């Protein structure tokens, strides 16, 4: 289940996605249909998977990334190593957050 705000038919504002069990999985902001600003993604067990920023739909700056059990928190420079930010499948990522390719169980 997800909730997003629309302005003139375009996703703009806060985006939130939950599992069927009610666990918050994703929280961020959209600007004219593109991810922008701070985003956080959680595993289905409630542990934070990653957090960082988007700039006009692209990963930006440093992202904090951790394992499914919440261990091994480390930083990834998304502009240098975008494929090391495991929260989003960059090959499937489009403007729509619904097509983000998120895997909440820790597998690719």
Q: With respect to residue 30, please indicate whether it lies within any of the assigned structural domains.
A: yes
Q: With respect to residue 13, please indicate whether it lies within any of the assigned structural domains.
A: yes
Domain coverage including residue 47: 2-99
d(C-alpha 79, C-alpha 74), whole Å = 15
Q: With respect to residue 81, please indicate whether it lies within any of the assigned structural domains.
A: yes
Q: With respect to residue 92, please indicate whether it lies within any of the assigned structural domains.
A: yes
Using one digit for the tens of pLDDT, what is the confidence trace for 16-36?
A: 999 999 999 999 999 998 999
Q: At 91, is the pLDDT very low, low, confident or very high (cuts 50, 70, 90)?
A: low
| 26: alpha, beta or left? (left if phi > 0; alpha if psi -120 to 50) | beta
pTM for the predicted model, two decimal places: 0.77
Q: With respect to residue 41, please indicate whether it lies within any of the assigned structural domains.
A: yes
User: In degrees rounded to 5, what are phi and psi of residue 7?
Assistant: -130, 120
d(C-alpha 72, C-alpha 2), whole Å = 28
Q: Total domain count for the chain?
A: 1
Q: Identify the helix (H) or strand (E) that includes residue 3.
A: strand 2-7
Which residue has better confidence, 89 or 83? 83
């Amino acid at each position: 289940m997800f909730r997003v705000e629309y302005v003139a038919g375009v996703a703009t504002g806060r985006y939130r996605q939950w599992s069927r069990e009610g666990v918050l999985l994703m929280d961020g902001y959209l600007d004219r249909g593109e991810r922008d600003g701070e985003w956080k993604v959680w595993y289905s067990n409630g542990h934070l998977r990653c957090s960082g920023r988007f700039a006009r739909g692209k990963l930006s700056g440093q992202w904090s990334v951790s394992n499914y059990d919440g261990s091994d928190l480390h930083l990834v420079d998304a502009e240098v190593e975008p494929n090391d930010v495991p929260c989003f499948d960059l090959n499937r990522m489009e403007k729509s957050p619904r097509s983000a390719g998120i895997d909440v169980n820790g597998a690719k």
